[in-house]
Structure 1
Amino acid sequence: VLTAMVALALSVAGLSLTPPALAPPTASPVPPPFVRLLIPAIGVNATIESVGVQPDGTMETPTQRPWNDVGWYNSGPRPGERGSAVIAGHLDRPGGNPAVFWRLRDLRVGDSVLVVDASGKALRFHVTRFIFFQPQDAPVQDIFGNTAGSFLNLTTCAGDWIPTQHQTARRLVVYTSFAGQAPAYTPTVTPTTRSQKGLSIAGTYNGSMYDEIKQQTTYISVFIKQSKGRADFRGTFTVTSPSQRAYPLHGKVDLQGNFSFTVQQPGGQMPLYFYGTVQHQQAVDYLHGYFCSSSTNSCSVNTGYFTVGPRY
């Protein structure tokens, strides 16, 4: 669904699908690649892959972890350079489970978006506006060709799935404008809980976690005990298959539904750290997010993802 929009956009705009010829080598140092996209307001902490154009003229999509990673269009400017840099990500996975840009539509004007390069340098952008449109009505020049400043445009699918067309009915673009260099940033997505108030998520959730390194699915159950209105919670994390084991967990949730929790493991093993957002679908709650082994309550690189629910 992402590729169709970009192919249309490039062809309508008259932008070349063939990268320009490489300039002769110069002494200028090659800047470090951008490696992570951070959007604290919606809990995004994603690896950036450099993507180009396929032989059929469509934009390539992330290949390492297609549902978790985002793709920067490498025939356009780098984030922070003059012009419109474009980063795309999937809305959902096959079957409808959330992917990296599931909550892109929840961003608001003024929210921060950060890109971090391999040296740790972070650039900050602020959301300025967003639009929904039908694929055939793509505002091509606005997305790819605006050179009046330094912009970073985030795009994903939106609307209902149309089976006969193998795409969604609409697209979403979130426009952001360069706001300057940010302090050195350590990637982490942990709910901000200055107050002791949090969304009520107490209950039992059954589901699964998928380890993308081992390519292994484990079935789990998450039981959460939480005092009414409190941000902190405790509970039990149970592995239900292939063998049943139960471990204590503790965590926090904010009023927007951003949560994190740590699962203690036996035998001196590194704790498992889970983070994500509450997903409300068809009047029921699910917990969806990512996990890693961590003793610092943060994930610089995710091990995999999980979805549990509905709550009961």
Structure 2
Amino acid sequence: MSFAIPSIGLKSELLKLGLRTDGSLEVPPTWPGAPAGWYSHSPTPGERGPAVLVGHVNATDGGPGVFAHLRSLKAGDVVKITRENGTSASFVVDHGEPYPKNAFPTKAVYGNTDGSELRLITCDGFNANTGEFDDNYVVYAKLAL
């Protein structure tokens, strides 16, 4: 699978991600140029429910990660997905929301939806004191009809 977000000039392959042994979401690699990942226990993009894509905001060399410009997406921007079988699905961005990691709304992000939706998730809220990201940023998008 692969995807593109033309409004921010982004194209990436999608790795298949699962769960870590502690039950948390596996994340893609952080090396420069690393692709985003699709959480394979979520729906395939275009199926009913929230398909989840995860990517880094920065890379291990300090440069930009695949989702470095996720915060600049606006309502109406398009996310194009090419599935493994060659078919495609287009999603329209509805909105984005920052969430503290210690108060992440798991059900709102991963819970069932009436239609086909997409969630793009990255880190946010860099804390210079700890060198860690305190928040996540989630973009919500719906299948274009």
TM-score by length of 2: 0.90
- AA partner of residue 41 (structure 2): S
Describe the shift of the 1:95–1:163 C-alpha distance in structure 2 as closer, same or farther (beyond 3 A): farther
RMSD, aligned CA: 1.9
1:118 aligns with 2:57: no
What's the secondary structure of 1:142's corresponding residue? helix
What's the CA shift for 1:127? 0.2
What's the CA shift for 1:58? 2.2
Cα distance in 2 between the residues matched to 1:65 and 1:95 = 7
Partner residue, 1:71: 37
1:88 aligns with 2:29: no
Select 1:170's aligned residue among 103, 126, 135: 135
**In the TM superposition, what are the counterparts of 1:140-219 in structure 2 within 5 Å?**
140-162=106-128, 164=130, 167-180=132-145
* Greater RCO, 1 or 2 (C-alpha within 8 Å, sep 6+): 2
Q: How many residues align?
A: 145
Cα distance in 1 between the residues matched to 2:141 and 2:109 = 11
Partner residue, 1:127: 93
What's the CA shift for 1:94? 2.2
Partner residue, 1:106: 72
Identity of aligned residues (%): 36
* Contact in 1 for aligned 2:30/2:60 (Cα 8 Å): no
What's the CA shift for 1:154? 0.2
What's the secondary structure of 1:159's corresponding residue? strand
- List gaps (5 residues or longer) in structure 1: 1-34, 181-312
* Contact in 1 for aligned 2:96/2:140 (Cα 8 Å): yes
The superposition leaves residues 4-43 of structure 1 with CA deviations (integer Å, 9 ceiling, x where unpaired) of: xxxxxxxxxxxxxxxxxxxxxxxxxxxxxxx101100011
- List gaps (5 residues or longer) in structure 2: none
* Contact in 2 for aligned 1:67/1:90 (Cα 8 Å): no
TM-score by length of 1: 0.44
Cα distance in 1 between the residues matched to 2:21 and 2:54 = 19
Cα distance in 2 between the residues matched to 1:171 and 1:56 = 19
